[in-house]
Amino acid sequence: MTVLLIGGSSRFMDSVIDKMNKSGHQVYLLTGRKDKRSSYKRVFEKYNFEYNTESIEDIFKSIRPELVVFMGAYDTNFDWSMARQESVRYSTALTNLLSAYSMTGKGRFVYISSHEVYSSAYGADVREEITAEPKGLKALAIAHGEELCNSYRTAQGMDIMILRFDHVYGIPKKGEHLEDYCFGQCLESLRSGKISANSRNSFSMIYLKDAIEFAYKAMVDGKSAHACYHITSGEEINEMQLAVLVQKYMGEKTEIVDNSVGQKHRLVLDGTRYQKEYPMQVFVQYEAGVQKVAEYMKSHRESFLKDEDSGGGRLGKLLHKTKVILKKLVPFVENCICFIPFFMLNNRAVGSQYFSRLDFFLLYVLLFAIIHGQQQALISAAFAVGGYCFRQMYTRTGFEVLLDYNTYVWIAQLFILGMIVGYMRDQLKYIKDENAERIGYLHGKLDDIEDINDSNIRMKQSFEMQVMNQKDSLGKVYEITSKLDAYAPEEVLFYAAEMLSKLMESKDVAVYTVANGDYARLFSSTSREARKLGNSIKYTAMESMYDELKEHRVYINKNLEANLPLMASAVYESEQMQLILMIWGIPWQRMTLAEANRLTIIGALVQNTVVRANRYLDALKDRRYVEETNVLDEEAFSHLSKAFFEAGDKGLTECALVEITGVGKNDRKEAAGILGAQMRQTDYLGILEGNLYALLSNTDQQGAKIVIERFLEKGYHSELKRETV
């Protein structure tokens, strides 16, 4: 396969090149810059062109690549310290590349994105379809790049894939500065001997080589089912846990500083979509990966430390101080060394027909005044005076030199010019440094203003949605919840989850029915994520949530605890908790009092419908059950099973239908008593086509087999007749 890689020099690029070569592909490289400093041993051809040049189209036509990989978020050609200018250049570059790619008419274009497009905190793992919420100009540019790729794909039918990498970390190049947590903590340890960590900040990381292995499979597969995949390990870790690993391999003298403040922030990308298509195993676990990074940075610490760093440890501090002293001595040494050739040139110039009027001592003083400033100008002037007097004493005595008026005029001239030029140089440097500091301060203020503006925009959009769409209005809520009345009593709870998902704008909603004082059973849900707690939960053990629900309040998971929903509310009947409504997939900024109030209102309206349905079913209890048994008659059981399977087809629940064979009409009462003890409160026995059946709610094929084995132990043969897929 012919592969064109686009991006600057980095470990990331080196790893991609290495993988492509090992897999037998012919690799071309577009460096994105004109200089030829970087060299690549395993690249078939290298093009040193900037992204905005017209030659890009000719390069694509010449190579006609089958696979194009743009490094995007990991392209080192972009300096994000000046994010405002770079964001424009980034978007322009990507547009030019996509335009050139579209002219070839074949091959796949892969855009490398990152977790940075998500800035909010998420209680659940972030799936590919969740809308990006970038914060900051770099994240905004990366997210805009994704939108550009999607636009080209939909408008022109191009094969464009987006790969979002989740907190990639790995061994850096010497002196290379990375932005991942692992590198940051190792560098902080080298610089100060301390590691600042916030245990409330959770994320997942993936080692660079693993990330490239994962990405490669999706890149070269021409039958990918989706256009966007998350490249992630999915293994959650927080800053404190990472700091402990870094401390272990950086040395015990490293101190961990606990900065655990504020609300919990969690960002873990969901790799389920990728794993379904390309099953892969993470080879480098956190401990092994951190060890490799830490040991490499320790052995090459000099390339990562700056002059102002203490270096960590006594030896490091001693080396740092030695470097500072040597750096300050360098101008003095230069002054001493340079004086010798200037003294020799001055001696040669004396008596020369062409150079006798050229004052080499004055040039010597001006040179150091311009380069090093006033201090070195004074020192060089002192050396020059000494050299001048020494040269004059070749023909005159020292006393005569001291009495010569011209000597003092020349010395005054030398010092005045040296001091003035040195002073001007120092002032210009001071103004330059002050301007740089002021620009840095203003950039910081600008970033703060952008953060505030982002918050204001989100609030504005929220209010606009409320005003324009009226999604929060009581009328709109009642209009949607009243549709539950149109469903049969058996169907109400299934479609309550669907309705709640629509009103709360969340794809992950679950409805649990309270089975007894401590446990609740899952009745319906709208996604796999919403079912993550399992089919049965001990809700009273979830203290923070239960404390709110028992007080008839909406629970908001402000700490983003992983095993609790982001929001929850309870439905009561006669002060008895009947239902628990759980919402998982909502962004952090929507976990507000306004959303809690909306959920309260929705819960109250759902309660009316559910209570009405339950009372209706209780009223018909005698007519729905076979006399003196807990077995539903054929009509009631037929309606119930139909409701379950229709809901299952819509992904709202899982269920299984089991036929119990060999049970005659006269044996049903005895069988019902025995089999009922082997079933849960949320399962049903009923008559269908003259035979005895069991309807197992929230049960897959594996769960049904367990129940069938229980029945067999009691002497009743049964078989699975139908299940939801």
Number of CB atoms found within 10 A of residue 493's CB = 25
Crossing angle for the helix pair 374-392 and 313-349, nearest 10 degrees?
A: 40
- 26 pLDDT exceeds 80? yes
| pLDDT tier at 223, thresholds 50, 70, 90 | confident
Provide the edge-to-edge strand list for the sheet that holds 236-238: 236-238, 201-204, 265-267
The pLDDT assigned to 240 comes to 92
In the prediction, which pLDDT does 619 show? 45
CB–CB of 27/46 below 8 Å?
no
Q: What is residue 230's predicted lDDT score, i.e. its pLDDT?
A: 95
> At 102, is the secondary structure helix, strand, or coil?
helix
| pTM for this predicted structure | 0.61
For the chain, what is the radius of gyration of the CA atoms?
37
Judged against a pLDDT cut of 90, whether residue 204 lies above it is answered with: yes
Burial 17-32 (b: 16+ CB within 10 A, else e): bebbbeeebbbbbbbb
Separation between Cα atoms, residue 236 and residue 217, nearest integer Å: 23
Average pLDDT, the chain: 81
Closest CA to 218 of 269, 274, 282: 274
Residue type present at position 508: D
Residue 412 reports pLDDT greater than 60: yes
Interval 91-119: pLDDT, tens: 999 999 999 888 877 889 999 999 999 98
Q: How confident is the model at residue 433 (pLDDT cuts 50, 70, 90)?
A: confident
**Hey, how many other C-beta atoms are within 10 angstroms of the C-beta on 96?**
17
Q: What pLDDT, on the 0 to 100 scale, is given for residue 508?
A: 87
| Spatial distance between the Cα atoms of 292 and 209, rounded to a whole number of angstroms | 12
Burial class (CB in 10 A: 0-12, 13-18, 19+), 315: exposed
Residues 6+ apart with CB under 8 A from 68: 3, 4, 6, 60, 97, 101, 107, 108, 109, 110
Taking the C-alpha atoms of residue 463 and residue 150, their distance in angstroms, rounded to an integer, is 28
Length of the chain: 725
pLDDT in tens, 43-78: 888 888 888 888 888 888 888 899 999 999 999 889
168-169 and 160-165 beta bridge pairing = unpaired
Tokens coding 98: 């996509």
Distance (Å, rounded) from C-alpha 309 to C-alpha 189? Answer: 11
pLDDT at 491: 60
User: Where is average pLDDT lowest: 254-268, 604-618, 679-693?
Assistant: 604-618
Highest mean pLDDT (candidates 112-116, 258-262, 396-400): 112-116
